[in-house]
Structure formats: structure tokens, C-alpha cells
């Protein structure tokens, strides 16, 4: 199915700031975008809000879309469900996913049921996927320091090849991954964020950790909670510590906020979800994106809805 996002051309020519009219990439409820560029196309992996009950995030499938131009989007359907993980409880909820590519293999990191993270592997971005381990990669019951809620996995592969998995609510977590992408290379550690503004006690880590590297530094973006702003901190090492900087995207009129940043066609893009379609709300969210701009000092300019 093809969808048009007419705002894209205007966004591509937008020079300096990230003011834009947000439109959903597709006319369907999705959330928690995990965008990736594979072979000149952007793939967006998502939580499927269309199939949840409308009162909770209780979908059991993940969704995928792709686009060569950020304008026309192809719907690849519910390409994977929690059933791929035989150890998952029946009807375990499928939350914010992550994808990573290494040596021609595609690794899909999936929070399953709120207490485990699984990894599935495939030879192409849309599968077919199979469980890479036959057991969870992270299991709250078994892994020391996995935290209360090991969800929202995000993988960052540094240009040194070192690979890091981030996840967690309320306390951000990081653990090194081995090059096989399916085993841990060290202990799970807390990510330290310093210099939260003392004047605002709502400025704390909530969920949605995301790391990218630019201008020789590491940017750690995250949501501050429920509802949350998307804010960022910077550091000199992917494991932190990170120093709090500023707000990128302010509170939305829904209970969650979840972002990701990619480079595509020579431009940085900020993906997030919002309440953009009729009948939408906190459990019926829509994915959108905006250009992301940096100042000469490396500071990220705010994105306005």
C-alpha cells in the first residue's frame, strides 16, 4: 500500500529551523518509530497501535514501513509477532522495537511483555525472522541490574565497531554487545546523566533512550516521562556520563513521547509519534518526522510540533 506525505518536499527545502506541520507517515496508528537506512531506503519499525485495545498498548505484533524518499511509504504489514519467541507468554505485549544491521544480517530487538528483550535475526530487513537465541537476551528475572522494566531497546554501533544496547524506564541502562549481536559482552550498567536543571523536577530520565554520534560527540536523547519531553544530553563516550543540555520536543497531548534520529539524503531527521489522526490518543498514536538542525556549537535546535 502506498501513502503520500506531501509535506516532505517542503521539509527538504526548509533551511534553518525545525518548525513544520506534522503529518503521519501513514493513515494508520503506529508508535515508537525505529527508523533505519538500508540500501538507500528508510525502513521504519513500529509498535502497532492500530491493533491494540485502545485502552492499553496491548498489541502483540510489530509493523514495518519503507520509503525511498520519505514521501511515499510502503506498508509491509505486521511482519513479526511475539510468537516468534517461543518463550514469550501468550499475548505478551509487543512494545517499542529496534533494528540493527551487521555483516549483512538484520537483528530485531524486541521488548516482550515488559520484562524481557528478545532478538530475532534475518537475512533481509523484512525477514523472515527467527529467534536468534531461543531465550531472552535480557530477562529481568535473571539479569542483575536489568531494572524494573527492561523495554525500549536501542542499539548503537560505534565507528570502532563497539556495540551498545540501551534500554529501560526510569533508570537508563547500557550493556556492551558482542559482535554476534546476540550476547552480552559485559555487565548491565546504569547510564549517568548529569546537570539536570535544579529548577525543574520533571527533568529526569523516563524512557526511550537513543544514542547517536555527530560533531565528534555522543548525543543521548530520551523522554522525560509520562507525559514527557524529548530532551538531550551529550558525552564523550557512548556509555556516558552524559551532561543534560536542552529540550528538543516539548510535551505532546498524549502520555508518551518516543524519538529516533537518522541521517538520510544528507539531512538529519527526527522521528517521533504524536496524536495526529482522527480517533487518536495516548494508545492510538501516529508516526511522523521533522528535519533536525544543529547550531554551529553542536546544539540541537528544538523541533516544534
Least separation in angstroms between CB 236 and ligand FUB:
27
- Least distance in angstroms from the C-beta of 152 to ligand FUB: 5
Per-residue interface string for the shown chain with ligand FUB, residues 72-111, x marking contact by CB under 6 A:
-----------------------xx---------------
Tell me which of 18, 34, 47, 259 binds ligand FUB, using CB under 6 A. 47
Taking CB under 6 A as the criterion, the residue among 18, 256, 275, 288 binding ligand FUB is: 256
Q: Choose between 8 and 208: whose C-beta lies nearer to ligand FUB.
A: 208
Is residue 232 close enough to count as binding ligand FUB by CB under 6 A? no
Among residues 8 and 48, whose Cβ is nearest to ligand FUB?
Answer: 48
Q: How far is the CB of 258 from ligand FUB (least distance, A)?
A: 4
**Rounded Cα–Cα distance for residues 118 and 173 (Å):** 16
Q: Are strands 61-67 and 72-75 parallel, antiparallel or unpaired?
A: antiparallel
Among 25, 207, 261, 303, binds ligand FUB (CB under 6 A): 207
The 262-301 contact track toward ligand FUB, x by CB under 6 A, reads ----------------------------------------
Assess 50 for contact with ligand FUB (CB under 6 A).
no
Least CB distance from residue 282 to ligand FUB, whole Å? 9
| Cβ atoms 204, 192 nearer than 8 A | no
Count of residues engaged in binding ligand FUB, rule: CB under 6 A: 12
Smallest distance, Å, CB 116 to ligand FUB? Answer: 13
Distance in Å, CB of 32 to ligand FUB, minimum: 5
Buried b (16+ CB within 10 A) or exposed e, 67-98: beebbebbbbebbbbbebbebbeeebbbbbbb
Min dist CB 49 to ligand FUB, Å, is 7
In this structure, the strands spanning 193-194 and 242-249 are parallel
**Nearer to ligand FUB (CB atom), residue 111 or residue 238:** 111
Residue 32 sits in the site that holds ligand FUB (CB under 6 A): yes
In the complex, the residues that contact ligand FUB under the rule CB under 6 A are 31-32, 47, 57, 95-96, 151-152, 207-208, 256, 258
Amino acid at each position: 500500500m502506498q501513502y503520500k506525505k506531501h509535506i516532505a518536499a517542503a521539509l527538504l527545502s526548509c533551511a534553518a529551523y525545525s518548525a513544520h506541520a506534522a503529518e503521519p507517515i501513514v493513515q494508520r496508528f503506529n508508535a515508537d518509530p525505529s527508523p533505519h537506512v538500508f540500501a538507500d531506503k528508510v525502513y521504519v519499525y513500529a509498535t502497532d497501535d492500530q491493533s491494540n485495545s485502545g485502552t492499553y498498548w496491548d498489541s502483540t505484533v510489530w509493523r514495518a514501513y519503507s520509503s525511498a524518499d520519505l514521501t511515499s511509504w510502503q506498508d509491509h504489514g505486521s511482519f513479526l509477532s511475539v510468537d516468534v519467541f517461543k518463550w514469550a507468554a501468550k499475548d505478551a505485549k509487543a512494545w517499542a522495537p529496534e533494528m540493527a544491521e551487521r555483516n549483512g544480517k538484520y537483528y530485531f530487538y524486541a521488548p516482550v511483555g515488559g520484562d524481557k528483550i528478545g532478538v530475532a535475526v534475518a537475512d533481509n530487513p523484512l525477514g523472515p525472522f527467527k529467534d536468534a537465541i531461543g531465550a531472552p537476551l535480557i530477562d529481568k528475572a535473571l539479569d542483575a541490574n536489568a531494572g524494573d522494566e527492561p523495554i525500549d531497546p536501542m542499539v548503537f554501533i560505534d565507528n570502532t565497531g563497539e556495540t551498545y544496547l540501551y534500554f529501560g524506564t526510569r533508570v537508563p541502562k547500557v550493556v556492551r554487545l558482542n559482535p554476534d549481536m546476540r550476547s552480552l559482552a559485559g555487565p548491565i550498567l546504569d547510564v549517568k546523566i548529569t546537570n539536570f536543571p535544579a529548577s525543574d523536577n520533571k527533568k529526569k530520565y523516563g524512557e526511550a533512550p537513543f544514542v547517536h554520534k555527530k560533531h565528534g560527540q555522543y548525543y543521548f536523547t530520551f523522554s522525560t516521562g509520562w507525559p514527557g519531553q524529548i530532551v538531550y544530553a551529550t558525552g564523550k563516550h557512548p556509555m556516558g556520563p552524559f551532561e543534560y543540555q536542552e529540550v528538543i520536543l516539548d510535551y505532546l497531548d498524549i502520555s508518551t513521547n518516543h524519538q529516533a534520529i537518522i541521517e538520510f539524503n544528507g539531512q538529519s531527521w527526527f522521528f517521533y509519534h504524536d496524536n495526529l489522526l482522527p480517533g487518536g490518543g495516548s494508545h492510538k498514536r501516529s508516526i511522523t518526522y521533522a528535519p533536525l538542525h544543529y547550531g554551529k556549537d553542536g546544539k540541537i535546535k528544538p523541533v516544534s510540533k
